[in-house]
Every structure is written in C-alpha cells, then in structure tokens.
Amino acid sequence: MIQIPQNMTEVKVKIAELEELGHTSDEKQVVFEAIQDNAQSLLDEQLEGNYYSCKLHDDTITIFDVIQKPIGEIKSQNASFDADFRQDANKMLIYLDTEIRRVINQR
C-alpha cells in the first residue's frame, strides 16, 4: 500500500487502494494530503525527527516550531502546490526540500 504518493501515478494507485478498502476518495484531497505529507516527511528528515510541523493552505506551506510558532513560509512556484504537483511532482519535491532547508537554516 502506498503511504505517501510522490507523483500522479501513485495518487491514482492510492485512490484505487482506498476504494478497494471501501473508502471514497477525492483526487484533489489525495493530492493535497500527498503534498502536505511529503513536506512533513522532508522536514522530519532534515531535522532527524518530528520536532517541527507544517501546514499547507492554498499556495503556502507554513512551518511551525515545537511550540507551534510559525518560523517560515514556502510559496508554490506557480499558481499552487496542487498545480505544481500535477505538472511535475519530482520538481516540486526538490523545490520543497530546498525551501525547507532554507527555512530551517534561518531559525
């Protein structure tokens, strides 16, 4: 089972897996969760643990420290993270990794 889809092919597989388990799923929601979950995974990896959190809202990902204080934001490269993911998920993930590193290094 796919935990965190990293491209549109994996999104479609995840939707099929969820439907097979009897869950209704919406592609837009699965993409949203994939973007947010990938950002959190990259953040956890860079900090070597789950110390900070992030939240996707529209075309911005906000990163929060351990006391839930916002420490930085990442804007999508184009119209939205949804559009970026659909157009080229790998490029978006590389961008996210770079931008998360920038935010962490500024703290």
Count of alpha carbons within 13 angstroms of residue 3, beta-carbon side: 3
The structure's pTM equals: 0.94
Residue 88 lies in a domain: yes
Radius of gyration (Cα) for the chain, nearest Å? 14
Count of CB atoms within 10 A of residue 30's CB?
A: 19
Residue 3 lies in a domain: no
Q: In total, how many domains does the chain have?
A: 1
Evaluate the CA torsion angle 56, 59, 13, 94 in order and state its sign.
negative
pLDDT band of 26, cuts 50, 70, 90: very high
pLDDT band of 50, cuts 50, 70, 90: confident
pLDDT confidence of residue 1 = 83
d(CA 30, CA 78): 20
Say whether pLDDT at 75 is over 80.
yes
Beta bridge partners of 61: 56, 74
CB 32 within 8 A of CB 56: yes
- 3-class SS at 47? helix
Full domain range(s) for residue 15:
8-106
